[in-house]
Amino acid sequence: MRSPSAVLYRKKKGKWKKILTHKNTYGMTVKAEYGKWLYYSVYPYGNEQNLYRYNLKTKKKYLVRRNVRHMLISGGKLYTNGFATDVRSVPIYISKTNGKKAKRITKKANQARMKIYGKRIYYLECTYNKSHSKSTDRLVSRDLKGKKRRVLSKKIKSPASVLYFSNKSLIYAKPVKSSIRYYKISLNSKRQKRIYPSAKKVDNWIRTFY
């Protein structure tokens, strides 16, 4: 039985050209292009997801980090989060763009996507009470060195309430008696306001986010 492999193509001048082939993987996802480097993920076994980068000039590929769920790259730094038994206690690492000298900046982030806006990185952070029976998700930011932590909102009560998270805003739902209210937090102004989306819009957010 042949081992699985994935092939990546790029369209140039109306024609598809093969860029690279990666063996022993069941799939490949392009994450980002940064200078001469193309970052992509492969799925060799089960839920494992490893991050590689490919040099578009030398045609060589290198393993960057193992078990990477999401990545961001900005200012010559790589930001990655991974997998954990508790999806609300996932570590975030900051490293060189080759994955070396990685430093953990938090160990209790939600596995939802991280975002960079301006000179700060934003993510959802989970905290529990002493008996571990109740939890609160908060929108948190740090500078791009992983320092100067700030809490933007203490009103998000569960990860399931978050419906939309972009590099400009976060939208979440809050149950109030027999109804649900929707709020939008701007990453620019840091302010929160109530919004009134249609049922179709909410459904689209849920399908896209999860």
64 inside domain: yes
Provide the pLDDT for residue 62: 96
23 inside domain: yes
| pLDDT (mean) for 27-42 | 93
The phi, psi pair for 117, rounded to 5°, reads -130, 120
89 and 126 in contact (C-beta within 8 Å)?
A: yes
pLDDT band at 210 (very low <50, low <70, confident <90, very high): low
| Sign, Cα dihedral of 87, 92, 96, 100 | negative
34 inside domain: yes
Number of structural domains found in the chain = 1
The per-residue pLDDT for range 84-127, each reduced to its tens digit, is 767 777 889 999 999 999 999 988 887 777 889 889 999 888 77
- Counting Cα atoms < 13 Å in the Cβ hemisphere of 163 gives 20
Provide the pLDDT for residue 4: 84
22 inside domain: yes
Provide the pLDDT for residue 1: 60
Q: Which domain holds residue 53?
A: 1-68
181 inside domain: no
63 and 50 in contact (C-beta within 8 Å)?
A: yes
Q: 120-146 burial, b for 16+ CB within 10 Å, e for fewer?
A: bbbbbbbeeeeeeeeeebbbbbbebeb
109 inside domain: no
